[in-house]
Amino acid sequence: MNKRFYRTLINLSIIGIFVLSYSILKAEEVKIFEINAENYRFNPENIMVNKGDKVIIKAIAVDKDHGIGIKAFNIKNPLPKGELKAIEFTANKKGEYSIICTKLCGWKHFWMKGKLIVE
């Protein structure tokens, strides 16, 4: 085989490495959050991600049964007391979205809110 063939093969390999590197750098990030639901609040109250991130929320109700919902992402999960739930979704739209308790948990239920911020 001649030098031209090898030179072309090396150039294509270098281009392939650059394309693969760019793809890896542009891949979605995975953001993991641990949220406790207790005493009529979510802790942490606010979570922030970037558009396109894969989001994993590990949620647990500490004091009694609660629920967690983010309407914009079709999330509505019960949180039985003491049971860890993993909720996964892709944050595919920018904005600020309410995180709410989806189970009537007591007299302060309607004030139990958090916020998902997607930049």
Mean pLDDT for 46-67 is 96
57 close to 73: Cβ distance less than 8 angstroms? no
- pTM of structure: 0.74
Domains and CATH numbers, the chain: 30-118 (2.60.40.420)
Q: In the prediction, which pLDDT does 15 show?
A: 66
Mean pLDDT for 85-92 is 96
SS (H, E, C) 57-70: EEEEECCCCEEEEE
Mean pLDDT value across the chain = 87
Task: Write out pLDDT tens, residues 4-55.
Answer: 666 655 655 666 565 555 545 555 689 999 999 999 999 999 999 999 999 9
Compare 6 and 98 and report the one with higher pLDDT: 98
Give 57-104 as a DSSP string: EEEEESSS-EEEEEGGGTEEEEE-BT--EEEEEE--S-EEEEEE--S-
Gap between the Cα atoms of 35 and 12, Å rounded? 47
